[in-house]
Structure 1
Amino acid sequence: MELMEIDDEEIYINKNLTMEGLINKDLQRKKKPCRCLTLCLGLLCAVLLAGNIGQFIYYEMISRPTSADPTHASYIQGDRLQSHDASTEERKQLEARLSNLTKERDQLQRSYNSLTTQRDEFKASLNNLKSERDQLQASYNDMHRNLEGLQTNHNNLTASKDQLQTNYSSLQRKKDELQTLFTTLRENRDQLQSNFSSLKNNKDQLQRSYNTLSINRNHLQISYNSLWKDKEVLQTSYNTLQRKIEQLQANYSSLATVRDQYKKKIDKIRGMPCQTGWRKFDISCYFVSTAKKNWTLSRQDCIARGADLVIIDSKDEQAFVNGLLKSGQNAWIGLTDSLKEGTWMWVDGTPVTTMFWQPGQPNSYNGNQDCGETVQKSPGVGDWNDDGCFSDQPAICEK
């Protein structure tokens, strides 16, 4: 029985020695601080400030009128130059504000790119931590396999112990020799026990390091989740600002169109008097063709004369056009819905805002009436009617 105790102690010491040797690896890692957290918060504040500035500019812009009332007194010839100057000043202010908003958008883009770079760095740090975790898992698996090998050796030694127990009677005479050997083994055991204690202390220290690394990893995960939420908030703010920029661009395009119209009218005011056979009204010259042609050929004839089919945008102009025609006469005007059925547009692409349709018109009779004509009426300012574009009749040109 004394021999069995010696064998058990030796097996236990060897087993623990092997296990402690397997896990004696350097697992210390340094914590990577979140150095960019302060920078990210600063960038978030800058983005929110830029959003507020963009919102202020947006509401400042939509509070201004974008078009003039066709019946307003600003259409009188004497006030048109003053309206043009005011429109030019507003356009310059809009361009300056658009330039500032563009700079703020570029600054926001740079901030967003910087934040994206920092997010990628945090992702790389997370991948490194996962790689280290996989290495620890591999080390643990190796240690587990070695433990199973030691368990197999232990089982083999147990079988040998049983065989030695069977042969105990024959080995009794060697007791003294074994006693000496036992003494030596006891000394070795004490030495191994000392080594074991040292290895155990190292293991405990490694365990504490591992726990610290695990806590640091959890902190990094929390920081990563917070940064991800901040990124989503920034993305939402960026999308909102982008939509505001697009709306401002649309407003700018509308103002540019109004500016071009004013410029065209001013050019007409400064132009030469109407040619022979043309009648002048306001800032335009009008001509009633004597030849009867369809709508397309009539427009080509007006273009050849340096004009186009008439565009009527006020009651006074409609009354003037009505006075150019004979009683009950019809004439083509620059009105059509050939591009989209039911959507009437002038030949310059502008929508119809002031209408003088006859009752029940336009009705697109038989689905083949895509061109507009004015019908002379006295007294009155005349009416519009839709007719087939193939009909031959006079036309009214305007330039």
Structure 2
Amino acid sequence: MATELIYDEVGSFELGEMDRGERMEKMVDIYESADAVRVQETSTERERRTQQTDMNVDQTKDRTILAWKENLTAEREASISIFRNLTEERDQLKNSNKNLTEERDQLKNSNKNLTEERDQLKNSNKNLTEERDQLKNSNKNLTEERDQLKNSNKNLSEERNQLKNSNQNLIGERDQLKNSNKNLTEERDQLKNSNKNLTEERDQLKNSNKNLSEERNQLRNSNKNLSEERNQLKNSNKNLSEERNQLKNSNKNLTEERDQLKNSFQCLIGERDPLNKTLSKERLLLQDIDADLVKWLEKLHSDKWRTFNSSYYYFSTVGKNWNEARQDCRARGADLVIINSREEQEFINKQMEYGWIGLSDTEKEGQWKWVDGSPLTTVFWRKGEPSDHEGKENCAVFSKLDQRQNFWNDVPCSEPAKCVCEFPLLFPKVL
């Protein structure tokens, strides 16, 4: 009776209450307990119940194995179904990703075309604006326009770099998708092999518990990997959508800028038409000026001139009197320096200690003028200067000595000294 109770316990416990390893260990313990009880029974009872007990044990084992088989088969089919659904979702996300990439490329092409059209309109706008400003003798406006175009060129360079970075990111995303496709192919092959193993292990259920458990873990890992890949594709889809919206906004802004430039273009054409008769001579003059400017800029770079703000500066190393120093500067296409600000004064202070500047009162005593004829407004005279000692000090020098801020002094023009030449990057006025 004890043996029958033990075998009834084998068929009565729930398979879902514990994992397969625990169930196997419990069954082994039950069978060992049954065998121990059977040994203790009398030989007469053992002979009488042997046949019935063996039949019950066989039936119980068959039921247990059949239940394991059904549960494992159900788990495998559920995992395969989940794997199939995740694969379909991944393919949908890939198609969406491809469509968004194509739309982005189209927007980039549109952006590029609008940028080219904008550049053309800007060039036309620049030419018309230069002609109008030259007729109005506005050298200052031409300088400001050059700075604006430099900033525009800088902005366009930044936009080009952003597009290059975006292109590099897309290439990286494409490589990631290729690697993901390769991994999925390998996982598919692994699943095929696992399916083949499952078919063989189905015929040997007694020895396949461990293999089926390992396969279940592999499918779980595959399920986890596919879920992560789905999330990555969703994030990629979201990023591409945001980039598409940004390109649309950029496209809209460029379209508005193009329309504004077109309107400006039409206005400038209207201003240009009444002035066509007087432009020919001035254009020829500007062409000569441009050629000379390029020539002098090349020479300035080759002679190691130094730049500050919108001017080039040359610091001589040979001492000459004021007139000879000015002739030397003019031979270089420049003139003695004209100091207009504290910043320019500080710049020269860092380069030299003593030298001629373009300031004198040779025409009228006490009336100091720069070499371009402009009167003296901003001054940096040393204390007690100009003194015109003995009536012979008519030229100004830059002299640091023991001074900290104000360095100008008047000395005789015949004294030898180094000099500072200045070449301003400004167009001359058109007369």
Please give the TM-score of this superposition, normalised by the length of structure 2. Answer: 0.30
Which is helix-richer, 1 or 2? 2
TM-score, normalization: structure 1? 0.33
